[in-house]
Amino acid sequence: MQASARSPSRQAAVHNVDSSESADRNESSSSDDWFTVPPRSLSSVVLRSVQAALKDDRCRQDVVISGSTSNNDEKFIKVLLKLIHFNTMPVSHKRIGKEGNRPRLLLLTFTSAPDAKAFMSSYDCARKNKSPHCLYIYLNARSLKHVTSSVNKLVELQNLVASNRTILVAITETWLNDSVFDGEVLPPYFFIHRKDRSVTNPDKRGGGVLLAVDERLPLKRRRDLEPPCEVLVCELSPKGAPRVAVLLCYRPPNTDLNAFNNLIEQCIFNIFHEFSVLCLLGDFNITNVNWSHPVLNGIGAITNFIQLMYSNALSQMLMAM
């Protein structure tokens, strides 16, 4: 009887142990299943989070910059990378934004977010923090809009500016009008001042002057000092240096030189009431003069112009090429 009484007790004990182990196994199995196969609602949340993170990482590989109007974006990018001393080419590039008169933005995609970040660091450093050797460009364009199968003057100008550390660009005979936006001429980090011929003589085409400076240089237009002809006057205020008046002019070859002399003389007179330094640029269409050693020959409009330069202590700094 006692044996019979102990046997069920042992069986019950064994049964209880087996039940406990089975429960532990079931709990362990359930726990494993929770990590490997999450509930459907939780799975969609995690999936959306991962997709957003991947999308955000891909976005960080992209850089958007203002591109030129050049049709050869790959060449433009190579010139830009050389300029900012960055060696990693983007894996792809494309134009974004609507087609229109203004240049479309350029989207660069790099292999990784760190590459894109390094590019932007080099780009910003080159644009804002470095003090590069300055390059000043003056040219007579005879129509910046001129395009043929072999020549595109706007593209040539933009490549010239991008290939050098240019901070000031002065151009005569731009032949521009209201149909051409400033952003089509030079990159957006230039402040551009124009006086198109449509302003001074709407009935005639051609002519026009343009002065552009890097955004790091403080420059403002001085319309109050400008005569009513194709002349631009701007005030340049470099740090730690005297203010400079920049005078850019174009005289058409068929205009009265004496009348032009009078206008320029009054303009220079007004400028020197405010400034001690004047930079005079332009195309005066005065021939048969050796500007390195100009000679005064008697009385005449050309002699008067040379005397005007001498009397204001203006001397030749740049020679035409």
Provide the pLDDT confidence category of residue 8 given band limits of 50, 70 and 90: very low
Q: What percentage of residues in the chain have a pLDDT greater than 70?
A: 75
> From edge to edge, which strands make up the β-sheet containing 105-109?
62-66, 105-109, 92-96
Summarize pLDDT for 26-59 with one digit per residue, the tens. Answer: 444 444 444 444 455 545 655 565 555 545 555 6
Q: Long-range contacts: 9-12, Cβ < 8 Å, 24+?
A: none
Largest separation between any pair of C-alpha atoms in the chain: 153
If we measure between CA atoms, which residue out of 269, 253, 258 comes closest to residue 312?
A: 269
- Summarize pLDDT for 246-259 with one digit per residue, the tens: 999 999 999 999 99
**Rounded Cα distance, 320 and 86, in Å:** 34
Question: Highest mean pLDDT: which of 143-152, 190-199, 286-295?
Answer: 190-199
CB 211 within 8 A of CB 248: yes
> 72 or 279: which carries more pLDDT confidence?
279
Q: Which strand ranges, in their side-by-side order, compose the sheet holding 190-195?
A: 135-140, 166-172, 209-214, 190-195
As a whole number of angstroms, the distance between CA 114 and CA 125 comes to 16
- Over range 131-137, report the average pLDDT: 67
pLDDT band, very low/low/confident/very high, at 17 (cuts 50, 70, 90):
very low
CB 308 within 8 Å of CB 261? yes
Span of 21-30, 112-121, 308-317 with lowest mean pLDDT: 21-30
Give pLDDT tens digits for 260-269: 999 999 999 9
The domains found in the chain, sorted by start residue, are 57-128 (3.30.70), 131-311 (3.60.10.10)
pLDDT-above-90 percentage for the chain: 35
pLDDT at 73: 84
Per-residue pLDDT averaged across 174-198, rounded?
Answer: 93
| pLDDT average, residue stretch 84-102 | 82
The whole-angstrom separation of Cα 137 and Cα 151 is: 20
* pLDDT the model gives residue 164: 78
Confidence (pLDDT) at 9: 40
- Provide the mean pLDDT of the chain: 79
Higher pLDDT residue, 6 or 83?
A: 83
pLDDT at 250: 98
